[in-house]
Structure 1
Amino acid sequence: MARHVSPLTLGLLPLSVVPSWAHADDAVKGVTLPALTVTASAPKPITVVPDLPATVETVTPTQFQNWNVVNTEDVLQYMPNLAVRKRFIGDLNSIIAVRGTSNSQSARGLVYADGMLLSNLLGNSYSFPPEWSMVSPDEIQQVSVIYGPFSAAYPGNSLGATVLITTRMPTHFQVDADIKGFTQHFNLFGVNGNFNGSETSASIGDRIGKFAYLLDVNHLENTSQPLQLGTLAKSNTPAKAADIPVTGAYFYNNQTNAPTAVLGVNGEGVEHSINDQFKLKMQYDFTPTLQGGFTLGYWHHSYNSQTSTFLHDANGNPIYSGNVNIGGYEYAIPAAEFAPSSGYSESRLYGVTLKTRNATGWNAEAIASYYDIGSSVARTANSGGSGNGPGSITFGNGTGWKTLDLKASYTPATPEAGRANHALIFGYHYDNYFLDNTTYNTLNWQDGTGSTFANAFAGKTQTQALYAQDAWRFLPRWKLVYGVRYEDWQAYDGSQAIAGARVPYSDVSDQHFSPKASLSFDLTDDLKLRASIGRAYRFPTVSELFQGQINGFSIVNNNPNLKPENDLSKELTAEWAHWNGLFRFTLFQDDVKNTIFSQTDTTVVPNVTNFQNIGEVRSRGVETSYEGSDVLVRGLDLMTSVAYTQSKILANAQNPASVGKYFYRIPLWRADLVASYHLDGRSTVTAGMHYSGRQYNTLTNTDTNPDVFGGTSSYTVADVKYTFKPSKLSEIGIGIDNLFDARYFVYHPYPGRTFYVEGKLRM
């Protein structure tokens, strides 16, 4: 008898609660057979750090192969109280939001792939997402999300969550191929059309004795829906005779309920992007317990952001700028309102690992990585509709980061009855982030060279850390996990430059200890209780410190006195293995002092907008989740969660009007559900749902009309997919995201109803 039990469930349940079934035929040729017990089994999830003192949610290909997954970040879409800011398939600005961390605080999340850090800690916004492109969904063996900064093994950037991606290596010769096509119809204001894309990927791998390799290539091309609209406040100024009469404008009430004119598609516009990925992984077993590995990743991205105007004069000519007459009133359209842009970048990831693999006793691990943005060019026109006219070019060549992690761990053998034991880890961490951007003016924005220097910005940060953690089972049902992390942080070589002036930025440094503790109690074999507390410091990034402007020979609009975010996180969790799955109930609270956020200082004249420390933000809430297999009926797998989070500003000296208000983009409610029903061994039907409740796009909560462009909507969207396996080596998938074509916004419009078709071959 075959029975599916999710790896997550088995990893968390003791063997005694895994059900078994007995079958006997009492009369076969007159012989009575003994009862036969068959126990379902599956590999336990891989744990990068043993005895994690925090909530962990895990997903495997067994689950997400039945979802609509194109990019790696899609495998996180049903994780409890977590959302991915993904505006379209292939969006580079996909960052995670979790609990009290919003989708603009990218430096509060960590993403690792096989121990290598993919988090872009050069800044703290949607412009600095993790490098998801360095992992293909087809190579994933497991993804685990660790909630909160409760483990000493991870830096203060784990304040939100830490994503651990484990990829597979082949055990025999294999060849895989995958092709996907997707399309959406999008209708909003003056846009009504189809936007299409495709993805193709292939991999080949083998294990030859002690050596294993996996080569993976991927090509993704897509055209987004309009991402941004050009708007102006509804005018009350009568038009003048010289103003050009135009038609085509649309009107609506914006997020603050102010009457607003919509003039066209601007900013990132309709983005056509092409992504190419190459990944080579190699492993060699020097001995049965000593393994080395090498990773080489290459990624090339190019994009073209097309803008368009809705406005036309009496002769049908498009109007992009200048003073115009709309309905008898004057509107002044800036020259750059509909400026298009394009660009490309090339990145490489180099990684080396060496580790021992003893089942018990001492182990050691060393991981070194280097992420090199070898080429980065962004081109922007000065105006719309001017062809290949003047513009600017920004070069980011030589930007990137390097890391080194050294770790030793001790795993005790099975202890004697009643005897205390300790599982230990010790480690050292080093990272160095460096950013160098230079902008030139050009006479031909599409393909010209830089004619004159415009500005430049550069800087570096470095962190070194030591940590130790002990998981002490001092009684059979009691375990205490406690540890401490020491971090030494520096920011240096910062500067701003304009034509004729370069101003250096003073070096700064800071050091902190971060203690952690977690106490767990196995109330029964299938009910576990845990209380965790942890201190974490999130240090400023390069961009938060060094970006700004030059006025004469001084830097303005930056903040040389930024303090690190100082967080105290607390969590109470109960996990109950029941009904072929696992229930979780969690209460959490994060008290973050000196939250780093871009806001306007209203206490000075003129007001200054830059990164500042907000005195204190408190986030607290409750999460409930369930994941199980064969729920209610045989063949039904279910993941579901509901979370409530209240995140409020308790102190903010630079913007007193925000005190007592809800923090930026933290929804009060989140709910997710995905159910996969295996019709038989070849067919699976999946239905999913995402709900996000009320949230605010301003610190003062003045956006009272959220469900429009510029606002942040409450939304409910549904997804479906049908998967069919014609043979053991082939698979066909047909899916729909946003089934009911909901129109919703997180400032940008999000995709409409999107259709997927997919074909896979395995050898």
Structure 2
Amino acid sequence: MMAVLAAGLQAAAQAEESAMLREVAVQSGRSSVVDGNPSASAQVTAEDMRDINVTNVEDALRYVPSLHVRKRYIGDRNSIVASRTSGTQQSARSLVYADGLLLSNLLGNSFAYPPRWNMVGAEEVESIDVLYGSFSALLPGNAAGATVLMTTRQPQQFEAHARAQVFTQHYSLYGTDASFGGHQEQAFLGGREGALSWSLMLNHLDSKSQPMSFATAASKGAALGGDAVVSSGFYRDKDPAGKDRVILGATSIDRNFQDIAKLRVAYDFSRDTRAAVTLAQWRNDSYSNSQTYLRGAAGNEIWSSASGNVNIDGRRYGLAASAFAPSDRNEENRLLGLTLESRLNAQWRLETAVSKYDTLRDVTRAPTVTRPAADAGGAGNITFADGTGWQNLDLRAVWTPAGSGHKVTFGYHYDEYTLRSLRYGAANWRRDGSVGAMNNLSEGKTRTDAFYVQDAWKLAPRWELTLGLRHENWQAYDGRIFTTTLGDNRFASRNQGFTSPKASLAWQATPDWLLRLSLAQAYRMPTVSELFQTESRGNATAISDPNLKPEHVFYKDLTAEGSALGGNLRVSLFEEVVRDALYSQTDINLVTSNQNVDKVRARGFETAYQAKNVGLAGLDLGGSLTYTDAKILENHRLPASQGRVMPRIPDWRLSLFAAYRIDERWTASAGLKYSGRQFNTLDNSDTHQDTFGGTSKYTTLDTRLSYRFHKLMSASIGIDNLTNEKYYVFHPYPQRTVHAELRMDY
């Protein structure tokens, strides 16, 4: 079918070759946040993405210096961004935008609050810029880790792109030995008719993950008569603290179906004024399954025990009713955004971006009865998150007085985040069941009004000074928590103001080398879920704190960047000190909650190199090396963590990538990533790291080979984790995964 379509499009192209094209105004889609940003940065282009095994758009960031996206499998909805000073437990310390519209889910600060990558298709990307640190007054303190700015294509004439992908991995760990994979189809169409341009992106993904977790248990002592007797199927190993345990089965095997539709329409009122409207809808249906390894004497599967324990070799091991519980989630999300750019004259430019992200439907169902009876229904919980979402407004003006050497940017930012989570008991947890009494509720809102000014001043031909100031008025209100244990709790509103100065001095030392020193203060506000989401989870309660302080960040960066070794070389020294850092921790009173850690510090260096046609025509190389010394300096609530390494920040990171255009038809590429020692806990007690629940050192190698067999058609095959490395960042990551792709570009 794609070949027939390609033939028709080629005929149309030949008919148009002699036609005179109307002159159009080609405008950059980048916001002024990128222009003159006083920090280290990196970029990935659409051309670069062709050489990477990209399924979802976040894969394009795989080899960006110091960056890691916690993507556990294809179709993972919890892919949060980690940077050189922030780990994969801190989703609120990064920002992701697409065409000026915020995609970051700043409702929370954990794996459960990832950016909404789904709202951008890989086929529509023109470029991705990554900024490090909170050095721009135009950005909130969430930029302390990294800011990802995606720019999509702005068609100037009709174009069409389509691709079909299949992928599979053979996964072997403990008692699971099976293949997991799926397929994805994506299309992008765009065009221009006079002053009106448009684009349409459609995507369908069908994917099944490897197990994300495993049911585990430690010995409770001698078995009792009522315990179910296990003859085989269990696996013995050690937990991250080095203690003995048994593996009872695999859980969180996710089967998900995702559909995305996105329409973007832009209108050029003149050569200098352009407005664009974006409407995107994302739907996800997922089912999380499990697998028991346990077998009785007759070979029968053991899913549960009336006593809540099983007998393994005469010892008792706990088997909770929820150990193998499945879950069913159905969600629908919508993004609506408007951007307006206008150059009033040679000195003034205006920019506006307004967006609203709505969770139209989010229903999660899970049983409280044991399997296999739960497969047919039975008691459970149904959780609704409908109405959760956020809205943002940015008004910005850029003033460049003629002959002054100044470029002044000033503006206003507004955001509001709404949390709404209601959980009900149900006699039947499945989709045909109805809700009963409410047993958990979390609600609340936060709002920020910010004003900022930033001046990039050309002091002399080789010197530029950038000064910025950002003032934020932050509010938290309408907070309410209900659990059957804690009762109904409502919280008083909070209203606080914070001011953040920024400064950067850049020196063009030689025509090829730039040296820049940047300093910044910033505040990362507590998220609405850190303040107001308390949940009962089995016998434990995850506690929020409505009185949390914001993180107070002081960041320093010294960067040298220029031409070397036939390419571009950047070396950065950095240090970030954070007071009242926000983490979930279990303190000396054995209370697990969101807490302020008194003082943490991350310092180190980062090198990045890129070059084209290295040694021979068509060979492009890139790479980076980062060292981070991340320490917890003060933590009065958990003194055992003082002097320990901050969680989920590796000491060393290495990435290497090479692409070789063999000829006009063939391209080969390979990428390597290394991640060094890291910990999952604040007190670094998880020293046994190469196991489920641990955080491994790892080295992965990816390869790809592409062949263009027609002017409009190409095919490729790629392998991620070629050496089949088995590694963990708490969850087990994918093993060797094979990709095959067929694409059309017109």
Identity %: 44
What are the equivalent positions in structure 2 for 1:479-628 lying under 5 Å apart?
A: 479-498=464-483, 501-548=487-534, 557-602=543-588, 604=589, 607-628=590-611
Supply the distance in 2 between the matched residues of 1:601 and 1:281 (Cα, whole angstroms).
49
* Structure 2 contact 344–350 (Cα < 8 Å) conserved: no
Partner of 1:3: none
Structure 2 stretches lacking a partner, 5+ long? 1-25
* Structure 1 contact 337–384 (Cα < 8 Å) conserved: no
Q: CA deviation at 1:367?
A: 1.0
Supply the distance in 1 between the matched residues of 2:312 and 2:735 (Cα, whole angstroms).
30
| Root mean square deviation, CA, Å | 1.8
What are the equivalent positions in structure 2 for 1:343-362 lying under 5 Å apart?
A: 343-357=329-343, 360-362=346-348
What are the equivalent positions in structure 2 for 1:98-497 lying under 5 Å apart?
A: 98-233=83-218, 235=219, 237-246=221-230, 247-266=232-251, 269-322=252-305, 323-357=309-343, 360-382=346-368, 383-386=370-373, 387=375, 388-411=377-400, 421-447=405-431, 448-497=433-482
Partner of 1:21: none
Q: Name the SS of the counterpart of 2:59 in structure 1.
A: helix
Supply the distance in 2 between the matched residues of 1:288 and 1:155 (Cα, whole angstroms).
31
Structure 1 stretches lacking a partner, 5+ long? 1-41
Supply the distance in 1 between the matched residues of 2:478 and 2:685 (Cα, whole angstroms).
39
Supply the distance in 2 between the matched residues of 1:133 and 1:120 (Cα, whole angstroms).
12
**Amino acid in structure 2 at the alignment position of 1:718:** L
**Amino acid in structure 2 at the alignment position of 1:444:** N
- In structure 2, the CA distance between the partners of 1:613 and 1:525, relative to structure 1 (3 Å rule), is same
* Structure 2 contact 676–697 (Cα < 8 Å) conserved: yes
* Structure 2 contact 30–99 (Cα < 8 Å) conserved: no
**Amino acid in structure 2 at the alignment position of 1:283:** A
**Amino acid in structure 2 at the alignment position of 1:138:** E
Supply the distance in 1 between the matched residues of 2:585 and 2:198 (Cα, whole angstroms).
48
Q: CA deviation at 1:632?
A: 2.0
Q: Name the SS of the counterpart of 2:178 in structure 1.
A: strand
Supply the distance in 2 between the matched residues of 1:556 and 1:620 (Cα, whole angstroms).
31
* Structure 1 contact 740–753 (Cα < 8 Å) conserved: yes
What are the equivalent positions in structure 2 for 1:10-29 lying under 5 Å apart?
A: none
Supply the distance in 1 between the matched residues of 2:346 and 2:298 (Cα, whole angstroms).
81
Deviates more, 1:649-658 or 1:442-451: 442-451
* Structure 1 contact 229–263 (Cα < 8 Å) conserved: yes
Q: CA deviation at 1:257?
A: 1.1
**Amino acid in structure 1 at the alignment position of 2:392:** T
Q: CA deviation at 1:48?
A: 3.3
Q: CA deviation at 1:253?
A: 1.4
Candidates 630, 635, 647, aligned match of 1:664: 647
Q: Name the SS of the counterpart of 2:143 in structure 1.
A: helix
Q: Name the SS of the counterpart of 2:52 in structure 1.
A: coil
* Structure 1 contact 339–385 (Cα < 8 Å) conserved: no
Supply the distance in 2 between the matched residues of 1:684 and 1:376 (Cα, whole angstroms).
43
**Amino acid in structure 2 at the alignment position of 1:702:** S
Give every structure 1 segment of 4 or more consecutive aligned residues whose post-TM-superposition deviation is greater than 6 Å: 42-45
* Structure 1 contact 321–332 (Cα < 8 Å) conserved: no
Supply the distance in 1 between the matched residues of 2:498 and 2:469 (Cα, whole angstroms).
10
* Structure 2 contact 542–592 (Cα < 8 Å) conserved: no
Q: Can you list the C-alpha shifts for 1:126-172, whole angstroms capped at 9, x where unaligned?
A: 10000000000110111001100000000011011111111111111
* Structure 2 contact 553–577 (Cα < 8 Å) conserved: yes
Partner of 2:17: none
Supply the distance in 1 between the matched residues of 2:463 and 2:211 (Cα, whole angstroms).
55
Q: CA deviation at 1:199?
A: 0.3
**Amino acid in structure 2 at the alignment position of 1:732:** A
Supply the distance in 1 between the matched residues of 2:662 and 2:544 (Cα, whole angstroms).
59
Q: CA deviation at 1:469?
A: 0.4
Q: CA deviation at 1:45?
A: 9.8
- TM-score, normalization by structure 2: 0.93
Q: CA deviation at 1:410?
A: 2.2
Q: Name the SS of the counterpart of 1:727 in structure 2.
A: coil
Partner of 1:652: 635
What are the equivalent positions in structure 2 for 1:57-72 lying under 5 Å apart?
A: 57-72=42-57
Supply the distance in 2 between the matched residues of 1:701 and 1:597 (Cα, whole angstroms).
14
**Amino acid in structure 2 at the alignment position of 1:173:** F
Q: CA deviation at 1:64?
A: 1.4
Supply the distance in 2 between the matched residues of 1:47 and 1:521 (Cα, whole angstroms).
24
- Match status 1:638 vs 2:621: yes
**Amino acid in structure 1 at the alignment position of 2:599:** E
- In structure 2, the CA distance between the partners of 1:115 and 1:45, relative to structure 1 (3 Å rule), is closer
Q: Name the SS of the counterpart of 1:138 in structure 2.
A: helix
Deviates more, 1:500-509 or 1:623-632: 500-509
Aligned length: 708
**Amino acid in structure 2 at the alignment position of 1:238:** A
- In structure 2, the CA distance between the partners of 1:67 and 1:575, relative to structure 1 (3 Å rule), is same
